[in-house]
Amino acid sequence: MEIKENKLLGVSYRDTPNKGGIIKPFYIIMHYDGAPNSTSAIDWLTDSRSKVSAHLHISRTGVVTQMAPFNVRCWHAGSSTWAGLKGLNSYSIGIELQNKGHEIYTEKQISIALEVCQAIVGHYPIRDILGHSDIAPGRKEDPGRQFPWEKFKSLIKGDWNGLT
């Protein structure tokens, strides 16, 4: 996968109004959408009434939809802190994975998510890949216990200790 002008090439694009401001991303934040299907999730993330968004959505079948350029602030993290930073929307790329919260992620979905994260890590000065639960503990639990962290952490660190 390739990124050009802050967009992932070869994927569909559906603009979200729920964004604003230019950012320099240092983190990737993984989420699950909690929606019954990818269409309803993308509809919600691109509806101005929702006041939430993400840069990307990845369906269970591996379909990637981008909703904002990677250098634009999306509203995915909410009240959040990490490594001395507050308001992680200003420092991160948000990726929503189609999952109701209790489902096992599909092999295709994880494979595509890894490709996407690898492209992002290769293009931006990404320090870490985190879960919503890491930056908003007690408030959020996504991407959930079933998320294969060891595969993603290895994109950043060769020696992952199993903790996020």
Q: How many CB atoms lie within 10 A of CB 58?
A: 28
Alpha-carbon distance of 103 to 120, in angstroms, equals 25
Query: How would you write 81-121 as a 3-class SS string?
Result: EECCEECHHHCEEEEEECCCCCCCCCHHHHHHHHHHHHHHH
Asked, as a colleague might, if the bond just before 137 is cis with ω within 30 of 0, I would say no
Q: Is 107 a catalytic residue?
A: no
Strand pairing class (85-86; 81-82): antiparallel
Q: Exactly one of 2, 5, 96, 107 is catalytic; name it.
A: 96
Alpha-carbon distance of 25 to 88, in angstroms, equals 9
Q: Cβ distance 110 to 134 under 8 Å?
A: no
Q: Which of 122, 142, 124 is nearest to 132 (CA)?
A: 142
Question: Which residues does the annotation mark as catalytic?
Answer: 96
